[in-house]
Amino acid sequence: MVNVSSILTMSTNIITMITKIQKAFFIQCLVDDDNDLYELTINGKTFTLDNVYDSPYGDLFDELNITIDKIQ
């Protein structure tokens, strides 16, 4: 069963992180067959597991991945 309160909290965290990006006009997420986020593109720059944690978007990547996992 999906915990709605948990999803709302994570959604709020994601919105806060996106707001901090300020210059982000385009965000795209790619999810694999296991519903795991494997690629995040922000304004044309693509991040994968190999480099997202060396960027300012590591926390956003994690929060999106957790949210996707909870929704499935």
Determine the residue type at 36: D
What is the pLDDT at residue 54?
A: 96
From CA 63, how far away is CA 61, in angstroms rounded?
A: 6
What is the pLDDT at residue 3?
A: 61
What is the pLDDT at residue 50?
A: 95
Burial class (CB in 10 A: 0-12, 13-18, 19+), 21: middle
What is the pLDDT at residue 33?
A: 87
pTM reported for the whole predicted model:
0.67
Considering only residues 22 and 57, tell me which one the structure prediction assigns the higher pLDDT: 57
